[in-house]
A and B are shown apart, each in its own frame.
Chain A
């Protein structure tokens, strides 16, 4: 029986790919005041930004109840004996712990391994997609795990913001707080390192940020996958994809929209590039 792969909604895997590869996606929760939504399930990205503009309360996010994990485990345990869970960074969310805690609560026992990706968005998504392809092709849990550990150090992101205010307010700013408080209007650029947000630089304008992204990707000697994601800025995404087309086949570049949970911590101006490859 093939290994089943589970990840969370922050991985930003396009739904068509998740369906095709049978990746189970556990949603995080987004909350506006008293209303709670399942990330990407009960609330679409468009609805979310619409609400973000109109709502008097600011959204917050949380780990899904263990029940959701337990149900997913129980369901998959009917089809397989081995499950691999790849979660977003445990430094950014308690979801990794929730995945582990839920193992004890499932009814029908099967082998479950949980890996902390120490990243998020499509950087995490790439690793999950590769794992799911290997699982489909009959790889064992050990083989997949080994591959995942080899790939995790090979993913990296650069993300540009209009403001770091959302990230600061959500308590996830990490060392990127070095970028706060600029007297000039700048676009802060951050990355994820060892699971936490780290500063990468600043750009004086959006297009300069896109230049920096291009240079970042161009610095790779071998590129396996590239993704460009935006929160609510499709034009910037198009622009960057076209520019990256000069160094990587444009049709192979994943375009994705970050989910409401990410949007809660970044605001609508986020644009990011994720790469799987070797420098």
Chain B
């Protein structure tokens, strides 16, 4: 593995620009985690926009020294910071810029020191730092970097690996430290964002370009079991939220500490960061007027942004509600075999009951499935003639409105499920699904259990036989032969899609051979092969 002992300004630029794109990929997921300090669902977006502004400035400097790039990033972050998380992030860059001052290249030790300084600056910017947030994550990440250097590690990539690992653990631990996170069953959004940025930078240094491009950052799952409150998460704070007020103050000889003291008791979540010429202020207050009035005494105000937090919170709750699945009508299907069950589930069936030709589910099984769905209206796909009757029994046993779409085969059931129209009402959907059943042909392949003569066919015991829509119509020495005979009986010119579900006893290679021969014979048809895992039929084939 390549060792890397120094970082240039150019490296700094590239690694964090990769990190910004990496963050961008999950910013909406991070938004959804956001419950602290205000559950307004914008942390991911804010961090992403802040990083963008940071990097835009970084690309403005022609000079490739670490100092120049870090300074530009700090400036970009300060001017472009959005929201609390963005302001803290700008403080991080400010800390890094301070530490690397005067350096052309950063050694591994310089880099660890810069992270450490960044963590300190992040804490300093906040009047009442809270643990279990991005501050904690930043601190633990920096501590890991420092101790790694102390142990004598010279390679920046391995130091950063340790740092990222520590950040990840710190994120996973945030619900232990912060009650609102525990109650919402999430990790801290800002912490997650910080981890994702560091992770993106690491992946860039490791040269994992393909991965950065194609994959998505992992959102860390809360380690603790989800302990929901009785009240919704939005009531984490009894105090009214008031207004989220943010602006940049420009002037001469500004002292962030003095400004911080002046504003401290005028609101919550106060953040004051910057230097003597420009300071960014962010506060949640009931009276933005007082804040602005105080601020004018220090200098001129820019980019003033006042938002009503209660409104933001409402929008956020609305956003959460919109993400909830639609469960007006639920679908219960009967199938046997892991693959087939998964097909039904992946296409939106709420419950899949185990059952087939030889193993019919009981009325009770079906009733339980119907009752277990949250929907008041339930559509049952029995996928077998014998099960339809059992399903009919359920109607009189439940308060729910139950309809049976009498699918006789698995392909019919899948076609019905696929045709489900989310916009249509219950009755219309029953109609649409019943129509879909008629439009699909089903081939089932099994073996004769004894020698017999049927429909003019001479069948020997254990010989492969084929059913077309439930009727035994073909026999051959091989399964491929039966399938071929059955397909020639169908109008393959009008066929668009053939789906082969192969059973549990069939080898994948054998199934692939059958697929390939169908493709060769009918080149205009789209052929799909799925491991159905069903016990009874070696092949179930849908022809549409």
Interface residues of A (CB under 8 A from B): 33-34, 56-58, 60, 91, 169, 171, 174-175, 177-179, 181-186, 191, 196, 198-205, 207-208
Asked if B239 is at the interface (CB within 8 A of a chain A CB), the reply is no
Q: CB-CB < 8 A to A60: which residues of B?
A: 24
> How far is the CB of A270 from the nearest CB of chain B, in Å?
18
Known A-B contacts A34-B59, A171-B27, A207-B496; A184 and B325 likewise in contact (beta carbons under 8 Å): no
Q: Which residues of B contact A185 (CB under 8 A)?
A: 526, 528
Which among B339, B342, B421 has the greatest number of chain A C-beta atoms within 10 A?
A: B421
Chain A hits for B423, CB < 8 A: 191, 198, 200-201
A208 to B31, CA, bound (A): 37
Chain B nearest Cβ from A110, distance in angstroms: 24
Check B153 for interface membership: any CB of A closer than 8 A.
no
A87, B209: Cα distance in complex, Å: 37
Q: For the complex, give the distance between the alpha carbons of A186 and B528 in Å.
A: 11
| Cβ B21 vs Cβ A57 within 8 A | yes
B434 CB to closest chain A CB (Å) equals 15
Bound-state Cα–Cα, A174 to B31, Å: 14
Given pairs A178-B348, A205-B526, 11 additional interface contacts (CB within 8 A): A56-B209, A91-B322, A175-B323, A175-B326, A178-B325, A183-B346, A184-B499, A186-B347, A199-B422, A203-B418, A205-B544
Question: Which of chain B's residues have a CB closer than 8 A to the CB of A181?
Answer: 346
Residues of B within 8 A of A191 (CB): 423
B220 within 8 A of A: no
**Residues of chain A contacted by B31 (CB below 8 angstroms):** 171
User: Closest approach, in angstroms, between the C-beta of B381 and any C-beta of chain A?
Assistant: 15
- Evaluate contact between A184 and B422: CB separation under 8 angstroms: no
Note all chain A residues with C-beta closer than 8 A to B323: 174-175, 177
18 contacts between A and B (CB under 8 A): A57-B21, A169-B25, A169-B216, A171-B28, A171-B31, A174-B322, A177-B325, A178-B325, A181-B346, A182-B347, A183-B342, A183-B343, A185-B528, A191-B423, A201-B418, A201-B419, A201-B421, A205-B544
| Alpha-carbon gap, A245 to B528, bound state (A) | 33
A57: nearest residue on chain B (CB-CB)?
B21
Given contacts A34-B59, A200-B421, A204-B544, contact A184 B322 (CB under 8 A): no
- A33 and B212 CA atoms in complex are apart in Å by 13
Interface flags, B454-474, vs A, CB<8A=1, else 0: 000000000000000000000
Complex Cα–Cα for A208 and B21 (A): 37
CB distance from A159 to the nearest CB of B (A): 12
Q: Does B514 contact A (CB under 8 A)?
A: no
Contacts of B348 in A (CB 8 A): 178-179
A residues less than 8 Å from B326 (CB atoms): 175, 178, 198-199
Asked if B271 is at the interface (CB within 8 A of a chain A CB), the reply is: no
Q: Which of B24, B323, B326, B418 has the most CB of A within 10 A?
A: B418
Contacting pair A200 B497 (CB below 8 A) = no
B324 closest partner in A (C-beta): A175
Question: Is B496 a contact of A184 with CB atoms below 8 Å?
Answer: no
**Would you call B420 an interface residue if the criterion is a C-beta within 8 Å of the partner chain's C-beta atoms?**
yes
Residues of chain A contacted by B209 (CB below 8 angstroms): 56
Closest to B59 in A: A34
Asked if B101 CB lies within 8 Å of chain A CBs, one says no
B496-510 interface mask toward A, CB cutoff 8 Å, 1 = contact, 0 = none? 110100000000000
Distance in Å: Cβ of A31 to nearest Cβ of chain B: 9
- A204 in contact with B347 (CB, 8 Å): no
What's the minimum C-beta distance from A79 to chain B, rounded to whole angstroms? Answer: 31
A191 and B423 alpha carbons, distance in the complex (Å)? 9
Contacts A171-B27, A201-B422; A196 near B530 (Cβ below 8 A): no
Are B496 and A204 within 8 A (Cβ)? yes
Contacts of A201 in B (CB 8 A): 418-423
Report yes or no: B322 in contact with A196, Cβ–Cβ below 8 A: yes
B213 lies within 8 A of chain A by Cβ: yes
In the bound complex, residues from chain A placing their C-beta under 8 Å from that of B325 are 175, 177-178
Bound-complex Cα distance A89 to B153 (A): 53
B213 A202 Cβ-Cβ under 8 A: no
Residues of chain B contacted by A182 (CB below 8 angstroms) = 346-347
Q: Say yes or no: A198-B422 contact (C-beta < 8 A), given A57-B213, A181-B346, A184-B414.
A: yes
Near A by CB (< 8 A), chain B positions 511-544 give 526, 528, 530, 544
* Chain A: minimal CB distance from B211 (Å): 13
A171 neighbours in B (Cβ, 8 Å) = 27-28, 31
Query: With A34-B59, A185-B528 as given contacts, are A200 and B28 in contact (CB-CB < 8 Å)?
Result: no
Q: How far is the CB of B442 from the nearest CB of chain A, in Å?
A: 15
Cross-interface CB contact of A205 among B27, B216, B347, B497, cutoff 8 Å: B497
Q: Quick one: CB contact mask for B323-355 with A, threshold 8 Å, 1 for yes?
A: 111100000000000010011001110000000
Give Cα A34 to B56, complex, Å.
8
Cβ contact within 8 Å between A183 and B347: yes
Query: A204 with B497: in contact, given A171-B27, A178-B325, A186-B418 (CB under 8 Å)?
Result: yes
- Least Cβ distance of A48 to chain B in Å? 18
When distances are taken between beta carbons in the complex, the residues of chain A under 8 Å from B419 are 201-202
**Contact present for A205 and B496 (CB under 8 Å):** yes
- Residues 296-338 of B contacting A (Cβ, < 8 Å): 322-326
Is there contact, CB below 8 Å, between B343 and A204?
Answer: no
Query: What is the bound-complex CA distance between A203 and B348, given in angstroms?
Result: 14
B27 (CB) vs chain A CBs: closest residue? A171
Complex CA–CA separation, A184 to B339 (angstroms): 11
Nearest opposing residue in chain B for A208, CB measure:
B496
CA of A29 to CA of B213 in the docked complex: distance in angstroms? 21
* C-alpha spacing A179/B497, complex, angstroms: 20
C-alpha gap A205/B499 in the complex (Å)? 12
Distance in angstroms between the alpha carbons of A73 and B512 in the assembled complex: 63
Cα A184 to Cα B411 in complex, Å, equals 12
Task: Give Cα A207 to B496, complex, Å.
Answer: 9
Q: Given the known A-B contacts A175-B323, A175-B326, are A202 and B347 also in contact in the complex, defined by CB atoms under 8 Å?
A: yes
Complex Cα distance, B28 from A182, in Å, reads 22
With A178-B326, A184-B343 as known contacts, state yes or no: A200 contacts B418, CB within 8 Å.
no
| A272 CB → nearest B CB, Å | 15
* Closest 8 pairs (CB-CB, A-B): A171-B28, A183-B346, A199-B422, A183-B343, A201-B421, A205-B496, A182-B346, A202-B418
Question: How many angstroms from the CA of A104 to the CA of B530 in the assembled complex?
Answer: 59
Cα A91 to Cα B420 in complex, Å, equals 26
